Structure 1
Amino acid sequence: AGETLFSQLIVIQEPEVTPSFITLTSAERLFKSLFQYFDRLMIKKPWVDIKADPSWTYYQRLENALYPWIHPYWENAFHLNNQTSGQGIVLCSGNGQFKFAATTIRVLREVLKTELPIEVFFIREDDLSVAKRFYLENEFSDVTLRKLDQSIADEYTHFGGWAMKPFAMLASRFTEVIMMDADVFFLQDPARLLQDPGYKQAGSLFFYDRTLFPNWHVGPDWLRSFLPTMSSLVPNTRWFQGTSSHEQESGVIVMDKSRALLGLLSTCKLNAKNERDQVVYRHVHGDKETFWVGHEMVQTPYAFVKSFGAVIGNMGRGGDDGEPTQVCGVQLHLDTSQRPLWLNGGLYRNKYSNPLEYLNFTHFAQGDDWEFATHCIKNTDKIAELDPDQRSGRWKPQKKKGGSV
Structure 2
Amino acid sequence: MSLFQRILTHRLRFLLPFVVLLPLFLFLTSSRLPTAPVQVPKPKVHASRTPPPEELISYFIKHPTKPEAFGELGRRVQVLQSWIQTIDTPINTDKSPTLPADLEAFSSALFPYLREGKTSNGTTIPPLSALFGRHKPGSKGIVIPVGISSFRFATHLIGSIRNVLRSELPIEITYAGDADLPAEYRHFLTSTFTGVETVDIIPFFNDKELKLAGAGWAIKPFSLLASRFEKAILLDADSVLLQPPERIFTHHTSFLENGALLFHDRLLFKNAFVERQNWWRSQLAYTTPSTTWLTTPANVDQYSENGESGLVAVDMGRLPVFLGLLHIGWQNSKEARERVTYIMGHGDKESWWLGFELCGVPYSFGDQYGAVLGEKKVDEEKEKDKDGKETGGVKSVTRVCSFTIAHTDDKKKLLWLNGSLLKNKMGSSTEFWVPGHWMRDGVWEKGARKEDWSCMRDGVAEAVDRATMEAWSGSVEEAKRLDALVRPIVGEL
Deviates more, 1:171-180 or 1:211-220: 211-220
Q: Which moved more, 1:130-139 or 1:232-241?
A: 232-241
**SS at 2:108 equivalent:** helix
CA distance in 2, matches of 1:49, 1:290: 39
The reply to whether residue 231 of structure 1 matches residue 290 of structure 2 is yes
Distance verdict in 2 for CA 1:391–1:197, change over 3 Å = closer
2:179 aligned residue (126, 138, 145): 126
Moved over 4 A (4+): none
Matches within 5 A, 1:1-400: 1=40, 2=56, 3-9=58-64, 12=66, 18-38=67-87, 40-41=88-89, 53-73=97-117, 75-85=126-136, 86-159=139-212, 160-195=215-250, 196-215=252-271, 216-227=273-284, 228=286, 229-259=288-318, 260-315=321-376, 325-329=398-402, 330-354=404-428, 357-373=431-447, 374-386=452-464, 390-393=468-471
Measured after TM superposition, the shift of residue 355 of structure 1 is 6.0
Using a 3 Å threshold, how does the CA distance of structure 1 residues 352 and 181 change in structure 2: closer, same or farther? same
Q: Distance in 2 between matches of 1:142 and 1:95?
A: 21
User: Counterpart amino acid of 2:232?
Assistant: V
Closer, same or farther in 2 for the Cα pair 1:197/1:133, shift >3 Å? same
For the 8 Å contact 1:315–1:326, the answer to whether it is kept is yes
Moved more, 240-249 or 354-363: 354-363
SS at match of 1:343: strand
Given that 1:331 and 1:345 are in contact with CA atoms closer than 8 Å, whether structure 2 keeps it comes out as: yes
- Which 5+ residue runs of structure 1 have no aligned equivalent? 13-17, 396-405
In the aligned structure 2, how far is the partner of 1:149 from the partner of 1:133?
Answer: 16
May I ask how many residue pairs the two structures share in their alignment?
Answer: 380
Deviations 1:117-137 (A, max 9, x none): 000001111111211110100
Q: What do the CA deviations read for 1:186-222 (whole angstroms, capped 9, x no partner)?
A: 1110110112111111111111111011113333311
In structure 2, relative to structure 1, the CA distance for the partners of 1:117 and 1:355 (3 Å cut) is closer
Structure 2 gaps, min length 5: 1-39, 41-55, 118-124, 380-395, 474-493
Cα 1:387/1:238, change in 2 over 3 Å: closer
CA distance in 2, matches of 1:332, 1:254: 16
Q: What is the Cα-based RMSD across aligned positions, in Å?
A: 2.6
CA-CA distance at 1:253 after TM superposition:
0.5
User: Aligned in 2, Cα 1:62/1:348: closer, same or farther, shift over 3 Å?
Assistant: same
Moved more, 354-363 or 127-136: 354-363
Distance of 2:236 and 2:360 partners within structure 1: 26
Deviation at 1:101, TM superposition (A): 0.3
- Cα drift, residue 290 of structure 1: 1.0
User: Is the 2:378–2:398 Cα contact (8 Å) retained in structure 1?
Assistant: no
- Tell me which moved more, 152-161 or 183-192: 152-161
Helix, strand or coil at the partner of 1:166: helix
> Residues 157 and 149 from structure 1, CA distance in 2 versus in 1: closer, same or farther, beyond 3 angstroms?
same
- The TM-score normalised by the length of structure 2 is 0.72
